[in-house]
């Protein structure tokens, strides 16, 4: 997760990241489609429970873990992944 997206938008809990990811995926897929034949949209998406900052850009309050934000971030990642696959 780029630090700017985590700071400015709150990471994957923000639905705007779906649009950002879709544009990113389109650029990458168009550019490398003739060289790469197999793609993974996200690697180790389940790491959100152990590394919410790194995997989803979620900065939890000290000593707490907000599962609502983790599940919202997962949902947004799943939607972004589906749109990338659809492309």
Domain range enclosing 27: 3-86
pLDDT for residue 61: 63
| Helices and strands in the chain, H and E counts | 4, 0
| Domains of the chain: total | 1
For residues 82 and 61, the model is more confident at: 82
Tokens read off for 64? 């707490």
Query: With 0-12 CB in 10 A as exposed, 13-18 as middle and 19+ as buried, what is 32?
Result: exposed
Q: What is the pLDDT of residues 25-72, one digit of tens each?
A: 999 999 999 999 999 998 888 887 777 777 778 776 655 567 888 889
For residues 76 and 44, the model is more confident at: 76
Residue given tokens 């599962």 in the structure block? 67
Predicted confidence (pLDDT) at residue 15 exceeds the cutoff of 90? yes
């Amino acid at each position: 997760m780029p630090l700017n997206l985590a700071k400015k938008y709150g990471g994957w809990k923000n639905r705007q990241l779906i649009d950002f990811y879709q544009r990113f995926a389109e650029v990458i897929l168009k550019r490398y489609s003739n060289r790469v034949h197999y793609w993974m949209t996200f690697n180790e998406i389940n790491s959100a429970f152990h590394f919410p900052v790194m995997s989803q850009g979620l900065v939890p309050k000290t000593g707490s873990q907000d599962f609502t934000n983790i599940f919202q971030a997962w949902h947004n990642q799943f939607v972004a992944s589906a749109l990338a696959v659809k492309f």
